[in-house]
Structure formats: C-alpha cells, structure tokens
Amino acid sequence: MSSNQGSSPIPQSSGGTSDGLFRKPRDPSMAPRHYRTLRSLPDVCPKEPTGEGRGLCDGPSVVADQHRWTVYNSKVNLPAALNDPRLAKRESDFFTKTWGLDFTETDVMPSFYLPNISREHFSSYLQETAQREKIHERCKNICLNKDDLSVPTITNNHGTMFMKPEFVLNDPATFNAVLPWSHFSVAGGKNSRDVASSRLLQEKLSHYLDVVEVSIARQISLRSEAFFHAMSSQHELQDRLRETADAVAKLRARTAAIDRVMCRGPLRALRDALTRSNCIKLHNKLKLMAAVHQTQPTVQLLLSTSEFVGALELIATTKEVLQQELQGIHSFRHLASQLCEMERLIDKMMVADFSTYTQSDLNRAFEEDSQVLEKDRLQSLVFGLLRQRKLDFLDIYSEEMIQAAKNIVRQCVVKSVLQISEIDADTVKLHEQMRLMTFHQWFDLLLDIFEHFILFLKRIKATLSVIRNVVLEVLDSSQRSRLEEESGGSTLHSGEAELAYLTHEGLFISDALNEAEQRSNATAHAQLRAQMHTETCGSDSASATTESSSSREHNANTTSSLPIGGAAVISEDVMPSDLELSRVANNVQELLYTASDVSHDRCVKVLMTRAKDGSLERLSSSEFVCLSQAVESFARDTEELCGRRSMSLRGALQSQANRFVQRFHEERKTKLSLLLDNERWKQAEVPAEFQDLVDSIADGRITLPERKPTGRSEDRKPSEFLCVDGQKYAVVGTVLLLIRMFLEYCQCVNDIPSITTDILTRLADLLKHFNSRSCQLVLGAGALQVVGLKTITTRNLALASRCLQLVLHYIPVIRAHFETRLQPRQYSILRHFDHITKDYNDHIAEISAKLVAIMDSMFEKALSKYEVKAPMPSACLRNVCKQMAKMHEAIYELLPEEQTQMLFLRINASFKLHLKRQLARLGVVNDGGPQYGLVMVDVAFYSENVQALRSLEHLDLNMPETWEQKR
C-alpha cells in the first residue's frame, strides 16, 4: 500500500481469487456444471386435466370468458404477419423470438435507490488510515522476518524469484536467472575451464539441494505436532466411517425386508383399486360425453316448440360441464362456441317473439276481452329474457306502446269522420278533419279517445302487472337460494378431510367434491333440484303444454345425466343480481307512468290541433266547462289507474283556460265599461230575479241560479230597493249587472278549479275598473260629457256611494269563496281584495267629503253676508235651513240613518265654523247684549229646523261652540 491518498489495487490471480494467493487456473473442461433445479415428478394420475405445454388452460376459455374480450375476438391477417417486410432475418435474436419484434435492447437506467459512489466518499477513511499506513511501511523496512534471517544467503538472492506467481523454468529469462550458464552457450568445443565450471555449478546445485532439504526439515520440525495430530485424527475418522457403513448396511437390509413383507402386496391392492375407480370414472365421463353429444338436437327440438327457457337451461348446463368436467376433450373443442352462437340466436328469437307479442297485444281490438293476451307465453318470455340478462326488453314495450297510442287517435278520428257526411276523408288531412268538425262532434270524438285510452291503460297495467310479478318471483327465488346456500355451507366444509383424501388418491377434484356433497348434503341437493324444476315449469307452463311427450322424455333423459350441482351454479351466475331485478321492477312501474304520460300527450295533440285556429277560445262558458270537466275526469281516471299525476293534458287545458279567461274577462270588462258610459246615475228598480240572486248569496250559494220560465218572473213586480242582510240599498242598473258578473266569475272557478288564481286576478281587475271608472264619471264629473248630465247632484253622489258600499259588502264573501279554492301556499294572492277594499273605502270617504264640501261652500257664501239685525230669524239663516232640508231630502232615502247622521254632524261642524268666523268679523260676543240675543234667535231657529228633519231628532248640534270662549 503506497503512501499517497489512494491505495494500490490488491493483486489478483488468474483464478479470480481475492485473497492475494497464487491459485492454479482450472481446466475449462473441469468447470462446475450447472444442473437444473430439482422438481417433483408429475403424478401418473393427475387430479385435474392440467393441459401441460400448449394445453387449453393456457388460453382463455370460450365458455367462461365469452362475455369479455379475449384473443378469440381479435382479427389477424396471418400472411401479412408472416411476410412482415420490416423483419430482415427472422428469429435472429433470442429475445425477439420470445418477446416479439417490439423488444429492443435499451440502456439500463441507473437505479434511483443506489447512491453514486465517488472517491470523495473514501476521503475520510483514507485520512484516518494514512498515519497507520506510514508506520506499517516503516516497520516492514526495519524489522525483518526471523525465518528469513536463518535462511542462507543463497536463498536471499533468488527467494523472491521462486515465490513469484509467474515462476516458470520454460521462460529463458527465468532459467538464465536461476542457472547463469550464459557462457556455455558460446559455440566451440569443451575445454578444461568449462569442465571446471560445470563441476562448480553441480556443486552449487548440490549445495542448493542441501539448503532446501535443511529448510524442509526445519519446517517439518516446527510443525511436527500438528502433523502427528492429523495422523491420529485420520485413524479415528476411519473407525467411525467403518461403524457408519455397518449401520447403513443393517438399515438397508431391514428396509428391504419391510418392503418385501409389508408394502408390495398392499400397494398392489391399492393400485388395482385405483385402476378400477379410474375405469368407473372413465365410464361415467363417456356417458357424460354421450349426453353432451345430444345437446344440439335436444336444443333444436326445444326451440321448435318455443321452449326457450328449457333450451337455455340445457345450454348453460352443457357449457358448465364442458368447462369443468370435459375440458380438453378434442372432439368437443368447437361445441362451446357453437353453444354460444345458439345462445345468441335464442336471444334474438326471444326479443323478436317479445316484440311480436307486444304488437299483437297492444294493437288488438278493444272490443275483445280485456284480459292479458296469452299470459303463460308472456311469463315464459319474460323469464327467458331475465335469464339471459336482456334487461332492456321494456324499451321494446315502450316503443310499441307509443306507436299503439298514435294508432288509437288515428282510428278514432277515422271512425268519427266516416259518420260525418260533410267531411271528405280522402281529400282532407287528419288534423284538418278535426278542425272541420263542430264543437259537439269534436267533443264526442274527444270523449271516444278518452274512453279508448282508459281501456288502453287498463290493458297495459294488466300486462305490466304480470311482468312485474315474474320479476318479483325471480327476485324472491334468488334470495331463497342464497339463504339455502348459506345454511348448507357448514355441511359442505365438514367434508374437507375426506375431499383431501380423495384428491390425494388421484381422483378428479370435481368428482371428489361431488362425492363429498352427495354424502353430506344429499337432501339439500334434492330439494334444490325440485325447486329449480318447479320454477322452470311454472315460468314456462305455456310452452310446456304444447311440448310433445317424446321431447319431454328426451330432455329429461339428457339433462338427468348432467351434474345437478353445475346447473345450480349456472342459474346463480347467469341470473341478474338482486339490485338489477329491483331496478327492473321499478322500471316496470315507471313504464306504467310513461303509459299515462303518453296517453295524455296524444290527447294534448288532439286538443292543440283543435285550438290552433282559436276555436276553443270562442267557446261559450258552458261549452268550455263541459270540456274542462271531461278533461279533469279523464285525468282523475288515469291518476287512479296508474298512480301518476300527469300534468301535460292539464297544462294544455290550463293554457286554453287562460286564453278563455282572458276573452271571458275582456267581454265582461268591455260590457261593464259600456254600461258605465251609459249610466245616468239614477236609482233603478230591482227586478225580482236580482233579489233572488242576492238571497241565494246570503244562503251561501255563490253560484248563478238556474233560469226560471219567463212567465213566473213577470208575476213579481220589481222593488225600489235591493235588500241585503236586512239593509236597503238604492242602486243603479250597472251595479246589479256587476253583481251578476262577479257571480259568473265565481261560477267559473267552481266549474274550472285550475283557473282559480287567474280568474281571481281578472275579477280584481274588474272591481278596480268599476271603482276607478265610477270615480271618473261621478267625482270627476266625467258623466257630464259622456252621458250629457247637466250637473252632478248630491243625489248622484249619494247613489254612487251606496253602490260602492254594496260592492264593498260582497268583497269578503267573494274572498271567502276563493280562499276555499286556493292552496295554502297561494293565499298571498288574496291581498288583491285588501287593496280593493281600501280603494273602495277611500272612494266612499271622498264622496262623503264631497257632500260636506258642497254644503261648506254654500255656508261660506251665505254666511259671508250675514248681519245681526231685525227681523229675526234672518233671511240668511232661512236660506241655510232651506238648503239643508234639500240636502236631507236628496240623501235620506239613499243612505242609511247612521250615515245620514254622521254626514249632518260634519255639515253642522262646517256651519258652526263659518258662523263663528262671521260673528268674530262682526264683533258680536256672548255678552248678553241685544246683538247676542238676535244671534241666539237665529241659532235657535237653525237648531229647530235641523232637528225637525227625519232621523235627526236626537242629533246633538252643540251650538254653544259657536261663540268664542272668554279668556
């Protein structure tokens, strides 16, 4: 080792050793051989067909893997793959041959888990050992080996040469160094000097030999103890080997005797028993192969009688047997794929048969029996489709249902048009035919369509009920099977020891499992087989009745030879899961809802076709009510039948009802405007029919009474007032018609509940219109220009106020009527009546203020000329009393007594205010003087005249307030 920072590499021998010693290179022929690892010999009677080498187990199974993508689904052009132009020399590389052409040699990426070691990592170690290395080298030079000191000088000259690994005498340089005879190589004869040198050389070599012998003797003397110890150990080892050989010989002799006496005979008996068992199994396999061979003819026989479920069960059982029991049989290598193709064919046949059944069921005449068409056939088809997991069969039914609904409308229209001679069915399109009908003809058509759709939904409901029952039965059967398997699991585990013993003897695993199950759970398998047979026969009883006896016997003989356990496993694996079955059951219910929606949608088409030209908006109230009642009745029937509240037809009717309400409201609002524009605001007589109408409202009947014969109404004379709840109302003719109008609105709500909110807003608009228009005509004096009145009198004002009070009386009644027709969440719309009530009260208050203002202006004009002088009572006070008497005469019969008193109290307050101002202007005070006495005479005259008026006898005029109070 040098003294620099690095260290010199340790010399290695050619043999590859790392201890620094010389080792002779080995002969390549003597290199250790690489033996393959030991492995157990294959069993002569394998437990299962393993498919060694290129067996079937190496690739995917066409039965077990038929529902997922495998290499069998790939499409490869073999000549193109073999004639790949990119391949210069085929199979040129081992890796390319094994792993394909995509394999290429790439640089190995350095590992991320190993650090990159550099010289700096050893710097700390070298620094620590540098001082020790220097001391070591110094000691080697100072202190020599004591063995080397005892060796003669001759050995020191060539000792290092003899110890070198490359010491070979064949090398001329080495030979000349050991034997310096270079001077003998000179050409020429031998002389005496050469002979002397030769002798000297021989003596020198003899001396070397003696030195070597002395060195060897010295080494032997130094290691004599170890040598003698090794010799003694060798003798002891030979003694022990001799004893061991004797013991092995005795053991072999005893083992041979045991094998000869106890083993050969019993093993021969076991071998014969195993051979017999294998022969029996082989015979059973051959019988099973014979049964499987008859699968295809049996399936074709079953399909000829529409026995889809039986054919599917037979195919499934055969596929399971092929996969488990007959795997690797060369003669059956194509049978599995053929069975898969037959299964796909059966799927298509079942779907086509279900589509045909659906068409025949939905499109048959409604005059026929309304029961389910071929119930057994339907149950068989549904069970087969569920068995094959064709869970989208309801989509087929939905499509056929929609088409059948279209045909119903078309047939009803064609049937109705044939009965109408005015319409040419050949030249007019279907939608135009409905528009050419009168309302009654079209309404009869609509009722006929409604009736057919009710029968249509009943038929669909009965069919879907059968389908749903089949789905629920399959779901219940699946759950019961799962419970039975869970309960039988413990019994099956109890035979594990026996199963292991049978497997060890070389039986097939499946055979051992069947034997264990038959011994431990025979009863459970018998019940399971009986249950499967019952379910299969029950679900396909229609086809079973038509099956021939020979086919049934052949099917029984064929399927009886197949393992029952395998069939049970197939049914459990193929059937949909509980979640899927529950989803199908829910889809059946949803399909019934869809049928209701489809029926409503087709009726909407009929309704909108008729309404396209606006004919439904022009219907009378009674006609639209009939239409609304028919639609509502149909909607209730479908809701009760299907449990689904379909809103499409109601929505279409609602849109038409909104248009009808718009027209209905516009007609009445226009009529009310015309009546108000022609109203002269004079008291009108009240016909008896209006009094009866008001009385019916008081009795709680917010409806229009039926029209009575004309003769009876003429017998009763009209009255002067309208009596409402014991009060008399003097009214104009417009208000009477307004009462009838809002009763018509209430009647519409009774007949068409769906337009309650819309009709309420229209009625509120009508009431607001009456209030605003009457205010313009009376308070705003619009009647002077519209009607041609000369002036708006106090009687006109009082009459308008009384009419407003009558309408205001009925607003709570109308509100209560609408409140019973509204949902609680719609009560906010009733605030319209609160606004209307406030507007009417404000209008009535304005009329009262107007009456007071009329008298106030008269008082101001008259009392401004008042003088306190004889004669008394003065002319001014006489005129005031005369005007108040006229006012009383104008309003007394129109307004109630309480309102009259309140009005005259306000008029009296105005009189006292103006008189008090005039007396203050004249300087008259209550000092008891002559002027005071004259004024008191006029005041007394005024009080007597006012209190002399009717209903004002007890009116407290409080005349002392006329005078200023003394301070």
Q: How far apart are CA 188 and CA 191, in angstroms?
A: 9
pLDDT in tens, 706-740: 665 544 445 678 888 999 988 899 999 999 999 99
Tell whether the model's pLDDT for residue 103 goes beyond 70. Answer: no
Nearby residues of 169 by Cβ (< 8 Å), 6 or more positions away? 175, 178
Q: Are 774 and 869 in contact (CB under 8 A)?
A: no
Q: How far apart are CA 190 and CA 282, in angstroms?
A: 100
pLDDT in tens, 548-568: 333 343 444 444 334 333 333
Q: How far apart are CA 92 and CA 749, in angstroms?
A: 95
Q: Tokens for 933?
A: 């006495």
Q: Tokens for 850?
A: 């107007």
pLDDT of residue 2: 39
Q: What are phi and psi of 364, to 5 degrees?
A: -75, 160
Q: Are 103 and 95 in contact (CB under 8 A)?
A: yes
Which residue did the predictor score with more confidence, 656 or 154?
Answer: 656
Tell whether the model's pLDDT for residue 780 goes beyond 50. Answer: yes
Q: Are 237 and 245 in contact (CB under 8 A)?
A: no
461-466 long-range Cβ contacts below 8 angstroms, 24+ apart: 461/592, 461/595, 461/641, 461/642, 462/370, 462/371, 462/372, 463/361, 463/372, 463/373, 463/378, 464/588, 464/589, 464/591, 464/592, 466/372, 466/375, 466/378, 466/379, 466/382
CATH of domain 679-703+718-864: 1.10.357.50
Q: Are 744 and 704 in contact (CB under 8 A)?
A: yes
Closest C-alpha to 298, from 531, 543, 550, 544:
550
Q: How far apart are CA 361 and CA 372, in angstroms?
A: 8
Which residue did the predictor score with more confidence, 576 or 220?
Answer: 220
Most confident stretch, 96-105, 167-176, 517-526, 852-861: 852-861
Q: Are 457 and 595 in contact (CB under 8 A)?
A: yes
- Residues 110-136: what's their mean pLDDT? 86
pLDDT in tens, 401-428: 888 888 888 888 888 877 776 665 555 5
Q: Are 523 and 530 in contact (CB under 8 A)?
A: no
147-153 long-range Cβ contacts below 8 angstroms, 24+ apart: 150/218, 151/211, 151/215, 152/211
pLDDT of residue 881: 92
Q: Tokens for 107?
A: 């640089």
The burial of 734, by beta-carbon neighbours within 10 Å (0-12 exposed, 13-18 middle, 19 or more buried), is given as: buried
The DSSP H or E segment spanning 830 is: none
pLDDT in tens, 736-778: 999 999 898 888 888 778 788 888 999 999 999 999 999 999 9
CA 487: distance to chain centroid? 35
How far CA 676 is from CA of 230, 734, 764, 796, in Å, comes to: 149, 7, 17, 14
Q: How far apart are CA 86 and CA 571, in angstroms?
A: 51
Q: Are 536 and 309 in contact (CB under 8 A)?
A: yes
pLDDT of residue 208: 85
Which residue did the predictor score with more confidence, 600 or 310?
Answer: 600
Q: How far apart are CA 225 and CA 317, in angstroms?
A: 86
Range of lowest pLDDT (106-115, 336-345, 521-530, 843-852): 521-530
The DSSP H or E segment spanning 579 is: helix 578-611
Which of the four pLDDT bands, split at 50, 70 and 90, describes residue 152? very low
- 62 half-sphere exposure, CB direction, 13 A CA radius: 16
Spell out a b/e string for 30-39, using b for 16 or more CB atoms within 10 Å of the CB, else e: eeeeeeeeee
How far CA 703 is from CA of 91, 660, 807, in Å, comes to: 103, 19, 17
Closest C-alpha to 858, from 887, 815, 834, 888:
887
Query: Candidates 1.20.1280.130, 2.40.400.10, 2.60.40.1150, 3.30.43.10; correct CATH number of 868-963?
Result: 1.20.1280.130
Which residue did the predictor score with more confidence, 344 or 462?
Answer: 462
Q: If you compute the radius of gyration of the chain from its CA atoms, what whole number of angstroms results?
A: 63
pLDDT of residue 652: 83
How far CA 772 is from CA of 798, 805, 843, 895, in Å, comes to: 17, 14, 9, 21
Q: Are 684 and 720 in contact (CB under 8 A)?
A: no
pLDDT of residue 430: 65
Which residue did the predictor score with more confidence, 686 or 422?
Answer: 686
> Where are the chain's structural domains?
365-482+577-657, 679-703+718-864, 868-963
Give CA angle at 600 (599, 606), nearest 5°: 95
pLDDT of residue 635: 87
Q: Are 381 and 350 in contact (CB under 8 A)?
A: yes
Closest C-alpha to 464, from 602, 308, 584:
584
pLDDT in tens, 506-549: 333 334 434 544 444 444 444 434 443 433 333 343 333 333 33
Determine the longest span between alpha carbons in the chain, in angstroms. 214
Which of the four pLDDT bands, split at 50, 70 and 90, describes residue 858? very high
Tell whether the model's pLDDT for residue 233 goes beyond 50. Answer: yes
> Does 868-963 match 679-703+718-864 at the fold level?
no
How far CA 296 is from CA of 63, 301, 318, 335, 925, in Å, comes to: 16, 9, 10, 9, 136
pLDDT of residue 703: 77
pLDDT of residue 427: 52
Compute the mean pLDDT over every residue in the chain, rounded to the nearest whole number. Answer: 75
Q: Are 934 and 868 in contact (CB under 8 A)?
A: yes
Tell whether the model's pLDDT for residue 48 goes beyond 50. Answer: no
